[in-house]
Amino acid sequence: MTTGTHDAYADSRETTEGRVYTVSGGDWDDVLSDATHDERVVINMGPQHPSTHGVLRLVLELEGEIVTQGRAVIGYLHTGIEKNTEYRTWTQGVTFVTRMDYLAPLHNEAAYCMAVEKLLGIEAPRRAQVIRVLLMELNRISSHLVCLATGGMELGALTGMTAGFREREEVLHLLEFLTGLRMNHAFIRPGGVAQDLPQGYEQKIRDFIKVMDSRLPQYDKLLTGQPIWKNRLQGIGYVPLDGCLQLGLTGPILRSAGLPWDLRKVEPYCGYEEYEFDVPTETAGDCYARYKIRLAEIHESLKIVRQCLDKLEPGPVMVEDAKIAWPAQLTIGADGMGNSLEHVRKIMGQSMESLIHHFKLVTEGFDVPPGQVYVPIESPRGELGYHLVSDGGTRPLRVHVREPSFVNLQSMPAMSEGGMVADVIAAVASIDPVMGGVDR
């Protein structure tokens, strides 16, 4: 065993299994060496700080109450999801990617499946496309509600937190009714969706819309026009448009600086070009502008959900190709757990060849032609893009995600340096980073 080249962040050594890297933070001593000024102190905000939720560490250099230097230290929630997908079939990968940005699981499922479908050269049926849009917009509402709720909690607006999570529960109850799970659904599959919507879905969705229409105006009374809330956010976390473009920021942060860049409009997918909705923008580029945009986007998502109900025409929800479609035909049992007995009898009563084919499809998966694609969509946090590489086998050769939280989090120093240490919390909350997506 020989020691490799020295690197402050990743020492390496040669082993019988190849080169092994030991990655560490390594920047603490460097930060301290910079802080030679008598009046400056370096502190850790997190990962145990309540506003960083145990998964983000901010190293801040302070001069009194002013932040002179800030940097984000990530990796506390690393799961290796991208690598894990290389050891699962293309369909099983859905179960992994849905757990990255766990506040927008359906967006991850949709983007991943659209990339697989692009490699296969297929397109999901129209009804499946509309269902995907419906689920993604419901998911966007729940994600923005979490941002408003946790942001309010971290700034002391606890009523905003209880209201935000109250409405989010309404969304999660609806998603559980539609897909079977509150989060991490694995409902969107390559070729379509796992099953059709359950009976009574339309009434459930219309009831949900009615509840949201009655409750959303309360946020304007509680927060939008509230003088303390406005004074706490206006002028804080400012990033101008040119700064957003240089840092690669997307989503509400970019739109808060005045650019109406929304992939649903500029590069439509899943038939978004058929839907009528607006792209809210602000020009202030601060925390308050980002708050207002997210609240406005909830109204726009409800507008899209209403249109989805009108566009849901009868039809298949999975491609007809039996070599790809899984599950091709699925009937849930009365207890909601597993296949119904009638469906099991049908499978077992068919030919031995069809049973073998189904077994091979589930255990081995389907082959995807060699090639590589990049498919971006508009997640609640910005451009979520999937770069998939296939070597022609039943598993991905490479899965890499352009995760908006990871890119957007780089704006933290620009938002925070020169401001008060208390405003760092407001700035990070307005970025709305989900560390499961940052670390992957």
Model pLDDT for residues 27-45, shown as the tens digit of each residue: 555 655 655 566 778 888 8
pLDDT band at 73 (very low <50, low <70, confident <90, very high): confident
Phi, psi of 298 (to 5 degrees): -65, -45
Going by C-alpha positions, the residue among 353, 328, 359, 325 that lies closest to residue 343 is 328
**Quick one: pLDDT at residue 229?**
86
Distances (CA, A) of 325 to 125, 141, 317, 340: 12, 30, 10, 19
Average pLDDT, the chain: 84
> Has residue 221 got a pLDDT over 80?
yes
pTM: 0.85
* Helix (H), strand (E) at residue 96: helix 93-97
Q: Which residue has the higher pLDDT, 333 or 117?
A: 117
**Quick one: pLDDT at residue 1?**
45
- Domains of the chain, first to last: 10-73 (no CATH), 81-320+365-439 (1.10.645.10)
- Residues 233 and 160: their CA atoms lie apart, in Å, by 14
Longest CA span, the chain: 82
* Helix (H), strand (E) at residue 346: helix 341-349
Instruction: Kindly report the length of the chain.
Output: 440
Distances (CA, A) of 150 to 49, 156, 238, 411: 14, 10, 20, 19
> Has residue 178 got a pLDDT over 50?
yes
What share of the chain has pLDDT > 90, as a percent? 24
pLDDT tens for residues 185-216?
888 888 888 888 888 888 899 999 999 888 88
Candidate ranges 95-99, 153-157, 225-229, 321-325; pick with highest mean pLDDT? 95-99
Q: Residue 239 in 3-state DSSP?
A: coil
Residue 196 carries which DSSP code?
Answer: P
**Quick one: pLDDT at residue 155?**
83
pLDDT tens for residues 123-159?
889 999 999 999 999 999 999 999 989 888 888 888 8
pLDDT tens for residues 75-118?
888 888 988 998 988 888 899 999 988 899 999 999 999 999 99
